[in-house]
Amino acid sequence: MKRPVLLMIACMLLAFGVTQINAESARDQHVYHFGFKKSKDGQLPSINEEGFKPILEKHGAIFLGDTSQKEIYLTFDNGYENGYTAKILDTLRDKQVPSIFFVTGHYVKSQPELVKRMVSEGHLIGNHSWSHPDVTQISNTQLKDELLKVKNAVAEITSQKEMAFLRAPRGIFNEVMLESSRTEGYTNVFWSVAYKDWDINVQKGSEYAYTQVMNQLHPGAVILLHSVSKDNAEAMGQIIDGARKQGFVFKSLTELQKKVY
């Protein structure tokens, strides 16, 4: 075999090897499931034990707000509708509380009137991805498409033309998606108050929901709730009143973003 041919084959093998190494490195990227040590007796929650705090800080992700202030940031995940979001919106409207709703493509397509109402009543719409995939297992191009489709769908039916906040489906993330989504202009939003409220077959009553949230309240709390929960819908007013009685003020994530950046 002539030398030029051998050289060409060697180069091709080398290129293939580099591609394989890069692909392998991407697959080996550590995947995290967001978790935290819950607040108790007013103490601050912690993610120090989870191992991912440095990369959240590196990429400007939000876990909690200004812990020197008695401020609360109320957030909802809306993957699908279960008949309770309107009641939640009624309570937020009556009590003048701002919130953000992280929606999927399914939600925007199936509940356009609720999405319109969220925006018209002063709430933010956040990106929860179009198809709710594991965002650590898709390419940057696919992630960009997932986010753009939600943003465009919301822009088509509401006055919100931009989208600044992202919540990774199921709280699964890695550094690649944090970096990629930030490049697209998103701030990743995690949480510092949460409980198992998403299982619609295991609802335990409004008092249980109230207690779960109130027991975790702390300065700078980012509260994650799911709008599919009947308990949350029924406890919403009590939660707001109880938090305010303790001196907490409900704020919009846009105000927190200004402080962070």
**Is residue 123 within 8 Å of residue 164, measured between CB atoms?**
no
* Side-chain-facing half-sphere of 238: CA atoms under 13 Å: 15
Looking at the DSSP bridge assignments, the partners of residue 37 are 46
CA distance 106 to 117: 17
**Is residue 129 within 8 Å of residue 167, measured between CB atoms?**
no
Q: Left, alpha or beta for 103 (phi > 0: left; psi -120 to 50: alpha)?
A: beta
Nearest CA-CA partner of 150 in 129, 178, 124: 129
Burial class for 104, CB neighbours closer than 10 Å (0-12, 13-18, 19+): buried
Structure tokens at 44: 């601050």
Q: Please report where in the chains the tokens 């929960």 appear, as a residue.
A: 229
Q: Left, alpha or beta for 96 (phi > 0: left; psi -120 to 50: alpha)?
A: left
Catalytic residue annotation = 77, 226
**Is residue 222 within 8 Å of residue 64, measured between CB atoms?**
yes
95's CB contacts (< 8 A; 6+ apart) are 237, 240, 241
Chain length of the chain: 261
In single-letter form, the type of residue at position 10 comes to: A
